[in-house]
Structures are given as structure tokens and as C-alpha cells.
Structure 1
Amino acid sequence: MKLLWQPNQGKQANTTLTDMSSRVYVSSTAFPSGANVPHASMKQIRASLNEQAGMLILYLVVMQLIGPAIAAILITLMQAMHHQSVSLGAAFGELSSSSYVGLTNLICVASAFVFWILTHKSQIADTSSDGVFHRSERRMPPLVFIGAVCLLFTCQSLSTIYNIGFSWVVQQLNLEVVSNSERIQAASGTVAMLVYASLFGPIVEEIIFRGVIMKGLQRYGKVFAIVTSSAMFGFFHSDVSQGLFAFSGGLLLGYIASEYSIFWSILLHIVNNMVISNIDSVIFSALPEEAQFWTNLGFLVLGIVLGVLVLYLARVRIKNFITANHAYKGVYASWASFWFVVFIIIQLLVTAMEFSPVSS
């Protein structure tokens, strides 16, 4: 889950919002749903991906510039109602405090989400297979849902192992990192942050990435759409710690949304943020310190074992899905689209801002 309030994060695109959103949806409906389009349509694929990435940049601009301004105004009004005199400038300084960071993130994501709805209302309201909330005729088998939960647990385990190695490398380079996940953890005790991280955030992110972006690209191949939207989801978090998990988890959620509907991917996202990501901390708090290491190790091993088992049992299903929904050769060259590259560069620069030399 991305912590949304980070000053000076957004960069503004020079395309009008209405024109861009309408072209994205028009280009996404140019071919029958699920079809692999001919190689001659690479120009359309680049244009579609280009505009999806451009809209995501504008979403970040609203989230990082307009959202904080609205939050500061609301904090000023709230404090005035309690007969506390505070300037607007002082309210901006309170946005990243542990008392207000959860509320700030809720306001930022809500502001940007309103923008996203207004610029994608046609696709959101569409009841066809290209629509965000289209329900698949396939029923969700209980074993598939349980397997998906297990794989999310595996993603958490792999992310933890990666973070251990990454932390060691950072220490060897005499650097320190203040990541989004650490900021979220610091404010996790507030009701607003709980609502944002466990409920509202997952719903919004699924509608954006698995609903609009993935659905808008899936006529060029479902596998291409899942991988591309997952890559954008990973970079969107602009966090070394969360990015890898967001990408791997995005692959799973993309498959679930594609095969069974976005409602199931939303539910799994909520389960992950509300339950799976908090299991270790809940259990650790009840254990003596000397037992925590072995408990953590046991969870990591269990996550890997579950992942290997689920992937082995589902190997035929996975192979058949990839075979039936692969994109034609060379389609990933569309990742060279200008705004897609700009989006990645912006997020990499924001990620680099997390690093600083260790203070002596």
C-alpha cells in the first residue's frame, strides 16, 4: 500500500484531461475483447499505453498537489472548530505528523479518485466485457480463492526475504532509508490510517490498475495486460520495499480480476492488507523476544512451501491460461511509449529520495 502524502512528488503532463481519457477509452475498444491484434497495430498499442500512463501521472499530480492542499484546509477548519488558532502554513506542516497522516492520505486518495472517476466514467459505467465491473460467467472455486490467499502469503514471505538482503546492502553502503511502509507502520494505530490501508486504498487501487488500466490493455493479450498493469502498480508505490511485492501480488490479482471479476481481486487485496500483512506483528506481540526469530523463520518457510505447492498444483491451469492469452512477439516494445517511460522515471526519482547518508 502506498503512502500518498509525499511532498513534491508529481509531474504534470501537457495533455488535456478530457481529450486524454476519451482517447484512452476509444483506443481500448477498437478491437474485440480478448483478441490478439495484428502486428501492424503496434502504433495503437503504444498510443493506448502512452495515454494510460499519462493519466496515471495526472492522477499522481492531483494526489500530491491538490489533495494535500484540501487536507490542509480541512485541518485548519477542524482546529478552528475546536477554537484552536492555526495558520494554513502550520496545517501543511501537520500533514505528515502521526496524528494526521492517515487522514491526509484518505483525503489525497479520495481527491485523486474523484478525478479518476470523472475522466474514466465511460469505462466504469460500461457493462460489457471491457467495463471495470463486468462480472465473469465463471464462478470462483473455493480452492482457487484459498490458493490465491496462500500465494499472497508467499509474496509477503519473498518480500520479507528481499527486504532483509536489501537492508544489509544499504547498511554496507552507509545509507539509511525512510520508506513508505515505515511511515505507514508509524501511523498504523490511527483509525484513519486503518481505513485507508485496509479498505479504501485497496478498493481504489484495484479499480485503477485491475479495472481501468488492465481492462484497457487486455485486448492486446491478457498476459500482456496483467504484466504491464502489474509493472505500473509496482512503480506506482515508489518504494523499494513495497514495489517488488506490489508487482508480484499484482500478477496474481490481475489473473483473478481477469478470470473471475474485479470484485474478487478487491476482496483479496483487502484480505492481504487487513489480515496477511498483519499476522506476524499480531503473533509476535504475544511472544517472548527470544521466540520471535524462530517464529518469523517458520512463517517465511511456510510461505515458500505454500507457494511452491500451489504453483505445482495449478501448473496446468497456469500453462493453459498463458497459452490461450499470450500476446504476439514484440508487443512489450510498447513499453518504450513516451509517457510510460516518463512515469517510470518519475517514480524511480521519488524512490531515490528515500535514501540518505547515515547521519554521524
Structure 2
Amino acid sequence: MNNNESKAISKLIKKDFNKLGLTILMKELLANLAVIIFAMFITLVEIIKDPNITNYQLEKVLDNGTYNGIMSIVAVLVSFIPFLIYRGKKFFYYDLKLENRKFTFRTLVFGFIVIIAINSSLVLFSNILEIGLNAIGLSANSALEDLDALNELTVPMIIYSCILGPIIEEFIYRGAVLRSLQKHGKRFAIIVSALLFGLMHGNFFQIFMGVGIGIILGYLATEYSIKLTIILHIINNISVQVLSQSTSYVTNNTNIIINMSLISVSLIILIIAILRNKNNITGWLQANTTEKGIWLKFFTSILVIVVIIFDLFSVISSIKPIS
């Protein structure tokens, strides 16, 4: 291959990456626009109902779990449109249907245990980083207020957080994104889709968990199918909701014991599994190398850079001085 051909191929690859970057950017802009329009609509309705309503009363209405749930459902559905345009028929005939192996109940259980272990260890990692932020007079705890809104037990919020949200996120990140990148190698596709999945959360406490879980789900999607990752994502979100709600019914000490038990057991199982399968893991990594220069092409694509900066701005903006 001569130099001109190499440059032409490189240009085509970067064009493809920029197309993906544009799709993600449109997805995030549409989601934010949907939230703004929905909030404006609710505000208008409330003002018509009560012209003397105060700003405080309006904020209480907009913070309502039912409205938040409906708003989240609308936003996540709208955000999926750019990916349907981006992948077209490939989404239905390839992204969703590709299946390398049938998964068993054992695969499902072990996958869930691994997710719990990754989730738990990265929660500890985030807490350690929070301590580091505190040492320099900063805190990211304001981000937890946004997460609390997702834990309200209203029907729309349950539908969003436990069913629709996980399904659409899997359609996007283990479907459209991962499948479109897989031609550059499984390892590249898994890591990049996981990174974009973590950044998408725009939240200091979720970005690390998103990347970690994204890697596990990405691997399972490539080796099995997106059906498995959808089920696991739904189960994970339901378990998070159950654990979150259970804290109000048990003492703080009991809650700590439950969490530490889950962390300990899941991590022990994960470590044993890694040690027993280290040769298989090494073999898989060696068999799925990434083509030379592809990482540089991806991270120097203009619209990919814009997406990363856009998401990092959301993460950084949640870090504030300790009051």
C-alpha cells in the first residue's frame, strides 16, 4: 500500500469516526432539548392553572418524581432517533440480531456477579477520589442529588430506570456504537463503547462505574448477544433500586453489613474466576488486538473530541467548592 492509499484510508476511517461523533452529539443535544421543552411545557401548564404560582412552587412541581420520570422517558426515546438514522436497517438486521453463542442461566448469573463486583469496587474508587477532592476543598456530592431523583418510586420513574432506560442504552452503546466499531477489532470496540457509555452519564460518581460495567457488557455483547446485556442491565438497575429503597427500612449498620457482604462475596468470586481463566483471558486479548494507529485516529477526530469535551464539562461542573 502506497502513501496516498494509506492517507485515503485514514481519511475514510476518521470520517466514519466523525459520523459516529456527530450522532452521539445530536443524541445528547436532542435529549437536553427534550428536557428543556418538557420543562417549559409543564411550567406553562402550571402558570395557566395558577397565575400566582411562585418559582419555589414551580421547582417543586418540576422535581416531582412523576414529571421527572415522564421527562426522562421522552428524552431517552428522542435521543435514540439519531442512532436509527446513523445505522439505518443495519440496526435491526445486524446490531440487534448478531449472536455468536447462546447464553445460559449460568452465564447470566455469573455476568451479574461480575457486574456487582465491578460496580462495588468502582464505588469504593469514586469514594476515594471524593476524599481526594475534599482534601483540596472540593466535592462532587452535589451530583448525588441528581441520582436521588432517579430513586423515587413513581411509575414513570420505575419504567424509565428499570426498563426503558437500560434497553435504549443497550441499543445505543452495545448495539449501534459497538457494532459500528467492531470492524476495527473487538477490543477497540468494547473499550471505546464503554468509555462513551461512562462519559454519557456526565456524573462524577457514575462515569467510572459506567466505563467498568460497559467493558463487561461490551465483552458479553460481542461473545454472546445484546439480548444478554439487556437482561443484565435491567437486573442491575432493578437491584440498585431495591438496595436504594431498602436503606430506609434498615439501620445504617445493617446497611453497611449488607453492602460489604455483597462487595466481599462478589469480589472473591470475581478474583477466583480471573485466576482460573487467566489463560483464556490472555488468549482472548492476544487474539483481539487493535490495528495500528486506530486509537490515534479515533481520539483526533474532531467531533469525537467535541463529544468528550461536552461530556467532561458536565462531569467537571458537578465538582464544586465545599460550602
* In 2: Cα distance, 1:179 partner to 1:310 partner: 37
- 1:1-360 matches, within 5 Å, as 41-73=9-41, 76=44, 84-85=49-50, 93=59, 96-99=62-65, 100-125=67-92, 127=93, 131-189=94-152, 190-275=154-239, 277-278=240-241, 280-281=243-244, 284-334=247-297, 335-359=299-323
Query: Amino acid of the residue matched to residue 48 of structure 1?
Result: D
8 Å contact kept, 1:213–1:229: yes
1:142, distance to aligned residue in structure 2 (A): 3.1
* In 2: Cα distance, 1:233 partner to 1:116 partner: 14
Aligned-partner SS, 2:320? strand
* In 2: Cα distance, 1:177 partner to 1:158 partner: 18
Q: Deviations over 1:311-355 (max 9, x none)?
A: 233334433332332212332112221111111111111111112
- Number of residue-to-residue matches in the alignment: 314
CA gap 1:331/1:115 in 2 versus in 1, 3 angstroms: closer
Aligned-partner SS, 1:296? helix
8 Å contact kept, 2:199–2:312: yes
CA gap 1:239/1:72 in 2 versus in 1, 3 angstroms: same
TM-score normalised per structure 1: 0.78
Aligned-partner SS, 1:49? helix
1:260, distance to aligned residue in structure 2 (A): 1.5
Unaligned runs of 5+ in 1: 1-37
CA RMSD, Structure 1 to Structure 2 (Å): 2.9
8 Å contact kept, 2:140–2:204: no
Partner of 2:3: none
Query: Amino acid of the residue matched to residue 123 of structure 1?
Result: K
Q: Deviations over 1:217-264 (max 9, x none)?
A: 101111111111111111111111100111011111111111212111
CA gap 1:295/1:41 in 2 versus in 1, 3 angstroms: same
* In 2: Cα distance, 1:94 partner to 1:116 partner: 34
1:61, distance to aligned residue in structure 2 (A): 0.8
Query: Amino acid of the residue matched to residue 266 of structure 1?
Result: I
1:133, distance to aligned residue in structure 2 (A): 1.0
Unaligned runs of 5+ in 2: 1-5
Identity %: 22
Query: Amino acid of the residue matched to residue 12 of structure 2?
Result: Q
Q: Compare the two structures and name the one with the higher helix fraction.
A: 2
| Between 112-121 and 218-227, the greater mean CA deviation after superposition | 112-121
Query: Amino acid of the residue matched to residue 317 of structure 2?
Result: M
Aligned-partner SS, 1:135? coil
1:289, distance to aligned residue in structure 2 (A): 3.1
Q: Deviations over 1:90-116 (max 9, x none)?
A: 798567513422222122112222343
* In 2: Cα distance, 1:321 partner to 1:174 partner: 44
Aligned-partner SS, 1:318? helix
| Between 44-53 and 288-297, the greater mean CA deviation after superposition | 288-297
* In 1: Cα distance, 2:89 partner to 2:99 partner: 19
